[in-house]
Amino acid sequence: MNSIQIAHKRISELSDLLAIFDSECSASLASASDLLVDCFRRGSKVLICGNGGSAADSQHFAAELVSAFSREIKRPALSAIALTVDTSVLTAFSNDFGYENVFARQVEAHGREGDVLIVITTSGSSKNCVAAVAAAKGLGMKTIALTRKGGMISNVADFSVEVPSANTQHIQECHMLSYHIMSELIEEALYGGEK
């Protein structure tokens, strides 16, 4: 295949996937967004984590909530923390105790009952994400997973958005669409009249 054929193939794959993602995941996205709206209405906060590209997505999602998603809606900041940004905590804990509990430890530090943890894992089996969910549940937090269809994380999270694909790049593309939609739904529900 030449470069144009590869580009066409990937775009066609994503286009086909989006139709299935729409039919299978729109209700999950709405339910997860409702949970986050309730969290913010109570004055609680959101913690977000993931590895690699999902770490970047964690930071992106947190930025949409703290800063703003829509420039048309005037609103206060929403409390969201990406657990992937403090390199001193990440490296100190991982060096001393291992990487598996690096997010769980931060959930222990920052999470409170009524808060929500969002884990983003394309494999659905990231040990540190599973451990973070367990830590959050131990504190009385609700949990949301952005993952792939059949990911084991869905067995422990309260809500899951499962992308119906095994292709990592397309799962990541749908995760970005997911948190953009969720950001929009949250802003509309909380501040839609304030333009």
DSSP secondary structure code for residue 122 in this structure: S
Quote the Cα angle for 132-139-172, to 5°.
Answer: 30
In tens, the pLDDT along 79-135 reads 999 999 999 999 999 999 999 999 999 999 999 999 999 999 999 999 999 999 999
Total of domains in the chain: 1
pLDDT of residue 1: 83
Q: Which of 85, 186, 93, 101 is nearest to 138 (CA)?
A: 101
Rounded alpha-carbon distances, angstroms, from residue 107 to 1, 133, 158, 193: 46, 9, 16, 33
Rounded alpha-carbon distances, angstroms, from residue 108 to 20, 79, 91, 133, 165: 37, 17, 17, 11, 32
pLDDT of residue 195: 55
CATH number (domain holding residue 167)? 3.40.50.10490
What predicted TM-score, i.e. pTM, was given to this entire model?
0.96
With contact defined as beta carbons under 8 Å apart, do 186 and 68 qualify? no
Domain membership of residue 110 as a residue range? 3-191
